[in-house]
Amino acid sequence: MLKKVLIANRGEIAVRVIRACRELGIETVAVYSEADRLAPHVWLADEAYEVGPARAAESYLSIVRLLNAAQKSGCDAVHPGYGFLAENADFAATCEEAGLVFIGPSAHTIALMGDKTEARRTMESAGVPVVPGTKEAAADLDAVRRVCREIGLPVLLKAAAGGGGKGMRRVEREQDLKSAFEGAQREAQAAFSDPRIYVEKFLDRPRHVEIQILADSHGNVIHLGERECSVQRRHQKLIEESPSPIMTPELRQEMGEKAVAAARSAKYCGAGTVEFMVAGDAFYFLEMNTRLQVEHPVTEMVTGFDLVHAQLRIAAGDPLGIQYLGPKGHAIECRINAEDPFNDFLPSGGLIEQLRAPSGPGVRWDAGIVQGTEIGLHYDPLIAKLIVHGESREAAIARMSRALDELVIDGVPTIAPFQRRVMDEPDFRAGNYHTGYLDGHPGLLDVTGGEESLRAVALVAALLEEQERKRVRIEAPTQGGNSGSAWRWPTGGWSGRGWGRRS
């Protein structure tokens, strides 16, 4: 087993890895920027090293500074988490050259799957279905026009070097191709330092379903079922669940077999995800994420397997030794982002003045924050994840609704109130949704929810505030000042079913 691991990340994923290492008796080393000096992952680790200023390029993305921390602390392995350098082939190669175990696939595999056109060619060779489109990056605008005439509009222009919606443009009219192509190139260059663009046929109302795979260094490759990730905003996932509402045992077996074939063709080792788009009766390869996914807890909840434990054991050279027997119950995850859902999901910052995490049977809270944490705008807005498990999908939705009602984050707007609305929305409850779900349900993002709803929330807030004042006068009549009620409204945070913006 590994002895000491440096976690080259921050926030909730760093906390997650530290806890898994501790359970396996592995020492941990955290890294932090100046902005994260007081972050939970810093004081949870056995050791911690500052790696630079708040700007990620000078801290969490600095390979030199991360490797210096690993060498100073005597680590024998590096866990990249997700985001930052998790899918950076140069980082993986540098770790290997320095004699450090990179907890993930080889640099070759990362590079292969990171190039989306190369990945498409590899999948086609392995018999994995891909969306109709180009096998090579488009040489110029004329090449894009020719492809569009062959496969038909609408199409997606996508960055060859990355994902996450960056460098992506949907084109429905040929006269829009020039501006879309040039815009996609600029965004791809800014995000990935690579302007290459390829073309895919646009799939109407698809579902985003991914398969979790595990592969060891002994040639064993298995899948652990699927996750449904179709509730998205600008191609960023907001709510995930497992199993998928559309899944049948036959489809799970077929998609699982194709995911395993994809992993084998890429010579994959570690925990990874093969993502598919499902349209009607067909499914198509989208991309392969060569790292742990943000939504991995829903798979853990329905399988009972700890994926970070598996990563660590695989990296230590152990064989898998596990067998997937199908999902047990149902799990849902809400990504708690520090964003304003009623103002185009703009990132939000500030001090978390009050935090009460939900608890109870079947509730899991993965967080990189505590009460008093200052949320800045330097990094990804994900601050926590709320995951629930129930015996059925209906039970899981009810449990998530209850957990969101209990959640209190005061001081920083989050997307929790939006997610609470989704739990009550009929199409979501029926499992009838796709990647365009939000476009078809604009009321979910209505800031007032209607005048009647606004008056009702204000009335409840006022009544609860008055009740809190009475309680404080009875319990502590000599204390003045604010009662600290979780129901202050407006608050700049999410409290039960109430939400407000800091003035």
* Catalytic residue numbers, as ranges: 291
Nearest Cα to Cα of residue 39 among 59, 23, 20: 59
Q: For 319-475, where are the alpha helices, taking DSSP H only?
A: 393-406, 416-424, 426-430, 451-475
Q: Let me know: does 75 contact 81? Beta carbons within 8 Å.
A: no
Cα radius of gyration rounded to whole Å, the chain: 23
Q: Let me know: does 435 contact 230? Beta carbons within 8 Å.
A: yes
Please state, in angstroms and rounded to a whole number, the distance separating the CA atoms of residues 100 and 98: 6
Please state, in angstroms and rounded to a whole number, the distance separating the CA atoms of residues 296 and 231: 16
261 CB-near residues (< 8 Å, 6+ apart): 126, 127, 128
Element housing 145 (H / E): helix 141-151
- Number of residues that this document lists for the chain: 503
Q: In this structure, which amino acid lies at residue 447?
A: V
CA distances from 294 to 114, 287, 386, 408 (A): 18, 16, 11, 22
DSSP bridge pairs for 279: 282
DSSP bridge pairs for 283: 278
Reading the block at residue 111, the tokens are 């590079």
Instruction: For 367-377, give one letter per residue: b (16+ CB within 10 A) or e.
Output: bbbeeebebee
Please state, in angstroms and rounded to a whole number, the distance separating the CA atoms of residues 330 and 317: 32
Angle at the Cα of 118 from the Cα atoms of 116 and 123, rounded to 5 degrees: 90
CA distances from 334 to 77, 270, 291, 419 (A): 31, 25, 20, 7
Reading the block at residue 7, the tokens are 């976690």
Nearest Cα to Cα of residue 271 among 230, 224, 318: 224
Phi-psi region of 134 (alpha: psi -120 to 50; beta: other; left: phi over 0): beta
323 CB-near residues (< 8 Å, 6+ apart): 222
DSSP bridge pairs for 237: 232
